[in-house]
Each structure stands twice: as C-alpha cells, then as structure tokens.
Chains A and B, each alone.
Chain A
C-alpha cells in the first residue's frame, strides 16, 4: 500500500481533505478500517513527522494533516469502537502554558493512530497529579512551548513519586528540541521530537508493561 500512502502524504501536505478522503474511501472496499489506519494513515503521518524533523515539512502541514486524519479515523473507527486502543490509560496536557497547538497535534495524531486518550487541557501541576491519580493514568503526555512550563515537569515527577504512582511521563516541544538533555533533567521517561514519534513510544511502553 506504499502507493496509497504516497498519495495520502501528497494530499495531506497541501491540506486537501477531499483528496485524502477519496484515497481512504477507495481502500475501505478492500481492507478493514484498522488495517487502513495501521498500513496507510499511520505511515503517512510518520512520513510527515520525519519531514518535520528534518525541516522539510512545516508545522502547519503537520497540524492540518493530523486534523484531517483524525476526522477520517473517527469515521472509520468511531469513539468506543472495539478496535480503538484504550490501553495504556493515557492523558495529555500542557502545564500552565497557553500555547496549545503542540497538544492539539499530538491529540489528533494519537487518535488518528486509533488510540483513545484524555485531554486535560491547560492545567496546573497540582491539578494534573490529582487527575492522574483519580483516572489511574499510566502514561502522561506533556506538551510544552515555554521553558518555565518545561521546568514544571520536575514538580510533576516529584509529586507522582511521592504518591507512589506508576506513571510514565512522555514530553515534547520546543525547549526539548533546543536542549537535548532537558527532558532527562526534568525527570521525563521519554521525549519525542515529533508528534508521530509518540506512537512508537507508546507501543514500546505497552510492550514493556505486557512483558512484566
């Protein structure tokens, strides 16, 4: 399905929703929704993510591509569909940072990959820790633009440890791109340079937890 993936990438890069829908609709005659997602949509988003990483694709293209795919996947796998990936229990937030674009992109891309997750929005350290405990979150994704927000992750890690919770913290955003050591310094378990890079990180976390 490389050809379809290539065509989908081309349509997503110019935010041509109709062309993208035609490609995906054509595939639904032949293969199951989950295979379309795994074999065409996710590879297309990964391709765009790699382009973002090497500078050949712009953020607006990543955002529009993710948004178009999220809506198509909602059509293929409605929320609550049995093939939706409900595990691990995940939440996504920004920490007192009013720059929400990165969070939106990650949310769209994970949903486009068939995952379900909670969107906590813009939240304080105290609030996020409480909600993580209450919702029994296993993976907390934190998107960051401003440096002070990145530094707040250290407080989140500390409070999660104090409460004895087993939570993986996955971070991403501009400060981590400009300082490759920062994610470890703030106590994160993983850092993603692209939104599509979150998918393999989640899958790896699932493999480890299943192996235990």
Chain B
C-alpha cells in the first residue's frame, strides 16, 4: 500500500474487503476506561453523552487504536423499556428486576419510542459529538442488543430459555416487537453519526443454543433485522462460540464476526475467509493479569493466526474490556500491533 498515511477508517475498510491494509487494525473496545480518564465514577461517566464523547477521544489519543466505541453498557437498552440499571464501582452495570414479570404481558407489550428515551438520547449526543470531531477519520461503532438476545434482560435468562422452547407464539410476538425497536435504535445511531452497528447477539452463539434451534430462531431474527439496518453491521457473540455457525452468520448480512478465545483463531479465520471479517480474540478476563510481555505475545499469536490476507481486526473476545485491565497492558497491546501487525506479515510462517 506504499507509505502514504492511512486513516483508521481506510485501514478498516480495506481489511473488510479481505485485503491487507498497512497494518492489522486494532479495536480496543473500551467502555468504562473512559471514566478513569475523566477521573469520575462509572455511573457519573455514563450519565452524560458529553462525558462519553470526551472519554472516547482521550482513549483514542492514548492508545491510538482504530475505532471509537460509542457503547455505554448492555442494561441501557432495557432502561428504555423501564428497567432499573444497577451500577457498581468496578464493573459494568447490571439490569435489575426483569421488566416482563409475566410472560403473558408480552401480548400487550409495546416498544418504547427512541426519541422519548433520555437514556438513549445520551448515546445519540455522544455519537453526534464524536462525528463532529472525527468526521470520517475513525469509524464510530454504535451498538444494539439483538432482538433475540435482549430478552435475557427483559425476562431473565432462565425464563427466556423456557419461552424459546415452550411458548413459540409469545416468543414470536416478542421478536416482532424487539425487532422494530432494534431497527429504530440502530438507524437512530447511524443517523447521529455512527459508521457501523455492532449487533450483540450472544444468545445465537453455539455456547448458548444449539445450531438447529438457532436456525429456527436467532438466525431468522438476525436476517430480518440486519436487512433493515441502514449501515454495515458486525455480529458479536460476546465470548460465545461461533465457528460452527459461520456460514449461517454470513447469510444474515453481517460483515464481521466477534470471535471467542474458547475457539482456535486460525480455525475461525479459515472458516470466515472471504465471507466474514474476524474480530478478536484477546482474552479480556486474562488481560487483567497479563504483563506487558504477555500482552505482546498474545498479540503476536493472534496476528499470526488470523492476520494474513486481511479480513482480521485485532480486539478482545467479549466486546467490552474489563475495568480491571491496567493501562500498561492496553499500551503494550497497542505497541505490539504496531510492531507485529505491519503488512506484509513477513515474520509469520507460511501455512
């Protein structure tokens, strides 16, 4: 690609085209670390879009990675449906008591309107501010919970699994309502300046449901939903296994698959080649205890496994780096991708 400086967006677009850009793109999917940068609590940080915009810009400057991650936390979406968000000092918030207490309530459930939810408006504010500052230099990633995975918080995980198996009509009704909400929420973020949407869909992973059931449920929901989102999407399985459903995922219209460190990255890359770009798969929990040297080793291993040929973005495996991961580890990852991720990857042995 010569020596011309490549913007992060150009780097990412080339790798999405399954070609080699100047170096492997790095997505540090940092959320709570922005609060550290601003010296405020996690709860305070996520209370204003301005905070998140400022935090994300500081993180971008500090680590020089290739995306802005305009993701707050998963319970934000169920807050829009009336759920309580329970903050803690050292981790992502939890959602409180599920909003759907009786599954029969699904019959009359209605999705909230995006413009009526102040909790969602914050996210649109930060997306607008980030877009104003960065224009098209760096991709801004917005996030939605998939209609198929949101019910884990709407109902509680166990009741949701029971619903999938035992109440097909109520399940379908919930999917219809959630799909409308998800599409509106994704498109609102794109309108506000997000470049692409991360479609978080852990329930579709083969860690959570078998493929046969996925094909009847999450696959259909994703295909229908992604077709209505007016921008590129990346499907993240949040540490769940996905290699056995790569072909299915590619048919949903998504461009990227978040890979789990529970799977062999080179196998995932081989399965995804020319179909999906692989995003992953540094172990976020492991990162908490890494030394800078370990971080460099892990980056090298991931790049050797999945970097050749493009179609690979280095990232963590969960889509949210734990608050406990020290800055020095993140800096070491950033340095390592610059050292070992330059294309062509001459140091990687040919397969």
Contacts and interface: CB of A to CB of B under 8 A. Distances in A.
Interface of A: 13, 15, 55, 57-61, 63-64, 67, 96-101, 104, 146-148, 151, 174-175, 177-179, 181-182
Nearest to A105: B158
B239 A174 contact: yes
B86 A60 contact: no
24 contacts: A58-B213, A59-B207, A60-B208, A60-B209, A60-B210, A60-B213, A63-B161, A64-B161, A64-B165, A67-B162, A97-B94, A98-B94, A98-B95, A98-B96, A100-B156, A100-B158, A104-B158, A147-B285, A147-B322, A148-B91, A148-B323, A177-B262, A179-B285, A182-B285
Given A59-B208, A147-B91, 5 more contacts: A64-B162, A98-B86, A101-B156, A146-B91, A179-B283
A179 B283 CA distance: 9
B164 interface: yes
B157 interface: yes
A179 B289 contact: yes
A67 B263 CA distance: 28
Interface of B: 86, 88, 90-92, 94-96, 156-158, 161-162, 164-165, 206-210, 213, 239, 241, 261-263, 283-286, 288-289, 322-324
Nearest to A63: B161
B239 A178 contact: yes
Contacts of A151: 90, 324
> Which residue among A55, A98, A148 has the maximum number of chain B CB atoms within 10 Å of its CB?
A98
Contact of A178 (B90, B157, B208, B286): B286
In the complex, the 8 A-B pairs of residues with the closest C-beta atoms, listed nearest first = A148-B91, A101-B157, A178-B285, A98-B94, A60-B209, A179-B285, A58-B210, A104-B158
B288 A146 contact: no
A118 to B, nearest CB: 18
B158 A58 contact: no
Contact of B210 (A61, A101, A178): A61
Contacts of A147: 91, 285, 288, 322, 324
B284 A178 contact: yes
Contacts of A99: 94, 157
Contacts of A179: 283, 285-286, 288-289
A97 B261 CA distance: 23
A205 to B, nearest CB: 27
B139 to A, nearest CB: 27
Contacts of A146: 91-92, 94
A178 B285 CA distance: 6
> Which residue among B96, B158, B286, B289 has the maximum number of chain A CB atoms within 10 Å of its CB?
B158
A148 B88 contact: yes
Given A100-B156, A147-B285, A178 B324 contact: no
Contacts of B165: 15, 60, 64
Nearest to A59: B208
Contacts of B210: 13, 57-58, 60-61
